[in-house]
Amino acid sequence: MTTTLSIAAWPSRARVLFPGVLASAVVAAAATFLSQHYGAPVMLFALILGMAMNFLTSDGGTCSPGIEFTARQVLRWGVALLGLRITVGQIAELGWHPVLLVVASVVITIGVSMMAARLLGFQGLFGLLTGGATAICGASAALALAAALPSHPQKERATLFTVVGVSALSTLAMIAYPMLAHWLGLDARAAGVFLGATIHDVAQVVGAGYSMSKETGDVATFVKLMRVAMLLPVIVFAVMCTRARGKGAGGGPRPPLLPWFAVAFAALVAINSTGWIAPALSVLGGDVSRWCLVAAIAAIGMKTQLRDLATVGLKPVALMLAETAFLAILVLALLRWAP
């Protein structure tokens, strides 16, 4: 009887969610159009346009439930579908050194970020959020980690700040790092490893890598995908940190050790590695993942007012700048040990 009632409630639930989901999708489409025509990060456009549409949630109107659903559930679907962008074979092709370099740089950067956050007076979890975004895959990692961390009154503002900061720094790195690699005299493979291991967002890695050469672009893209693969263990680490604190900040129960979207991410990586999924389906899944994440950040923007970001202060900005510089220096140091 309960199942029948639940199924019968789906149409009414869909009607409640539809206006907000549609609004998020429209903003995501507009952000994608602007990104394709002006070359700026799509996440940044989605966030800015979403914040301009804040009036849709300010009075708890008809769009509010769907926007909340997009910011939480659609976000998790997008993270899960990121698994279709990676195969184990892609990682194995580069050999052991780039794998060790990526693992070491991600672990060290996140560890240093958490310590630096505490020294600056923030919670260690804020350092995990910003450090994870810097070390793994930019805005996508920020959103994935935010989904795994406990509820907190400042959580959405911290997530928005991280997305803005990592998107802006990724764009600057896309311009500056190829010139730095050329100035340092890195060969095509070493330059690809450097770009793939340091630039935050996938699109900026691709743009920077192929601006130098095809070989550099190929290596940079594969190294970047290895960083994306680190998302799963870092999400597990984030959940373990939350569980170690007991109940979440919102007073809820402990989250599961493995969130469903992390399990789905790992499963899709494994299935994609077998070759059972047609390339066209993998591409489609990657596109759907991107749309989900863009719509989610648009929805988060709709839930936030600009003055919330204006009050973050200089310390978080200094933290993200330091994390980005630290990662670049660390990767260059590790590259010196390349065989």
Most confident of 31-35, 220-224, 286-290: 31-35
Can you give the pLDDT at residue 337?
72
Q: Which pLDDT does position 4 carry in this prediction?
A: 44
Four-point Cα dihedral 161, 163, 169, 171, nearest 10: -140
Mean pLDDT of 112-136: 88
* pLDDT tens column, 203-262: 677 778 877 887 787 788 778 877 877 888 888 888 887 776 654 444 445 555 556 776
Cβ neighbours of residue 280 closer than 8 Å, sequence gap 6 or more: none
User: Is residue 313, in this structure, part of any structural domain at all?
Assistant: yes
Instruction: Count CA atoms within 13 Å of residue 214 on its CB side.
Output: 0
Asked if residue 283 belongs to a domain, the reply is yes
pLDDT value at residue 152? 67
Distance of alpha carbon 52 from alpha carbon 127, whole angstroms: 28
Give CA torsion, residues 232, 160, 131, 71, to 10 deg.
-10
The crossing angle, in degrees rounded to 10, of helices 202-212 and 155-184 is: 10
Structural domain contains residue 5 = no
Residue 57 lies in a domain: yes
* 11 in any annotated domain: no
Whether 80 and 268 have beta carbons less than 8 Å apart is answered as yes
Interval 94-113: pLDDT, tens = 677 888 888 999 999 999 99
What percentage of residues in the chain have a pLDDT greater than 90? Answer: 13
Number of domains in the chain: 1
pLDDT for 1 equals 43
Domain extent, residue 264, equals 17-335
Tracing tokens 């195969």 back to the chain, one arrives at: 87
The whole-angstrom separation of Cα 155 and Cα 184 is 39
Q: Does a structural domain hold residue 6?
A: no
Q: Does 8 fall in a domain?
A: no
Whether residue 307 is predicted with pLDDT greater than 80 in this model: the reply is no
* Of 8-17, 206-215, 294-303, highest mean pLDDT: 294-303
Identify the residue with better confidence: 282 or 75.
282
Instruction: Give the global pTM.
Output: 0.67
Is residue 4 a part of any domain in this protein? no
- Please tell me the predicted confidence (pLDDT) of residue 336: 79
pLDDT at residue 250 in the model: 43
Q: What DSSP string describes 28-94?
A: HHHHHHHHHHH-S-HHHHHHHHHHHTTHHHHTT-TTHHHHHHIIIIIHHHHHHHGGGG--HHHHHHT
